[in-house]
Amino acid sequence: MNPKSSHSKTTAESPTPRRVAIVTGGTRGIGFGICKALLKRGIAVAAVYHSDAAAARAAESETAASGGEFFTCKADVSVHSEATRVVDEVAERWGGVDILVNNAGIFRFAFLESMDESFFDSLYSANLKSMFHMIKASLPWLKKSGEGRVVNASSISGRLADVGLIAYGCSKAGVDMLTRVAAAELAPYGVTVNAYAPGIIATEMTREMIETRGNEQKKQIPLGHFGAPQDVAELVAFLCSREAGYITGEVIGVDGGTFKVQNPARAWDFSRGKG
The pLDDT confidence band at residue 257, using thresholds 50, 70 and 90, is: very high
Buried-exposed string 192-214: b where 16+ CB fall within 10 A, e elsewhere: bbbbbbbbbbbbeebeeebeeee
Range list of H helices, 146-204: 166-186
- The pLDDT score that the predictor gives to residue 1 is 66
Range list of H helices, the chain: 29-40, 53-66, 80-94, 117-124, 130-145, 166-186, 207-218, 229-239, 265-271
The pLDDT confidence band at residue 6, using thresholds 50, 70 and 90, is: very low
Residue 205 neighbours by CB under 8 Å, 6+ apart: 29, 107
* Angle of CA points 214, 220, 221, to nearest 5°: 90
- The pLDDT score that the predictor gives to residue 11 is 43
- 250, 194 Cβ separation under 8 angstroms: yes
- The pLDDT score that the predictor gives to residue 4 is 56
**Domain edges within the chain:** 20-207+228-258
Residue 274 neighbours by CB under 8 Å, 6+ apart: none
- The pLDDT score that the predictor gives to residue 10 is 44
**Which superfamily does 20-207+228-258 belong to?**
NAD(P)-binding Rossmann-like Domain (3.40.50.720)
Residue 62 neighbours by CB under 8 Å, 6+ apart: none
DSSP secondary structure string for all residues of 233-246: HHHHHHHTSGGGTT
174 vs 72: CA distance, rounded Å = 28
Question: Is 22 a residue whose pLDDT tops 80?
Answer: yes
Residue 140 neighbours by CB under 8 Å, 6+ apart: 3
- The pLDDT score that the predictor gives to residue 14 is 44
Question: Is 275 a residue whose pLDDT tops 90?
Answer: no
What amino acid positions are annotated as catalytic residues? 168
Q: Quick check: helix, strand or coil at residue 56? A: helix
236 vs 271, residue with greater confidence: 236
Could you report the per-residue pLDDT of 130-146, keeping only the tens digit for each?
A: 999 999 999 999 999 99
pLDDT cut 70: percent of the chain above it: 94
- The pLDDT score that the predictor gives to residue 141 is 98
Could you report the per-residue pLDDT of 29-41, keeping only the tens digit for each?
A: 999 999 999 999 9
Distances (CA, A) of 209 to 112, 182, 192, 227, 257: 20, 33, 34, 14, 19
Could you report the per-residue pLDDT of 74-91, keeping only the tens digit for each?
A: 999 999 999 999 999 999
Question: Is 209 a residue whose pLDDT tops 90?
Answer: no
pTM (two decimals): 0.90
DSSP 8-class letter at 125? I
Nearest to 195 by CA among 80, 101, 88: 101
Distances (CA, A) of 152 to 23, 96, 239, 249: 10, 20, 11, 11
Nearest to 65 by CA among 36, 27, 103, 41: 36
253 vs 243: CA distance, rounded Å = 20
Could you report the per-residue pLDDT of 148-163, keeping only the tens digit for each?
A: 999 999 999 999 888 8
Distances (CA, A) of 192 to 127, 160, 179: 20, 25, 9
Nearest to 148 by CA among 108, 199, 182: 182
Question: Is 264 a residue whose pLDDT tops 80?
Answer: yes
Could you report the per-residue pLDDT of 216-238, keeping only the tens digit for each?
A: 889 889 999 999 999 999 999 99
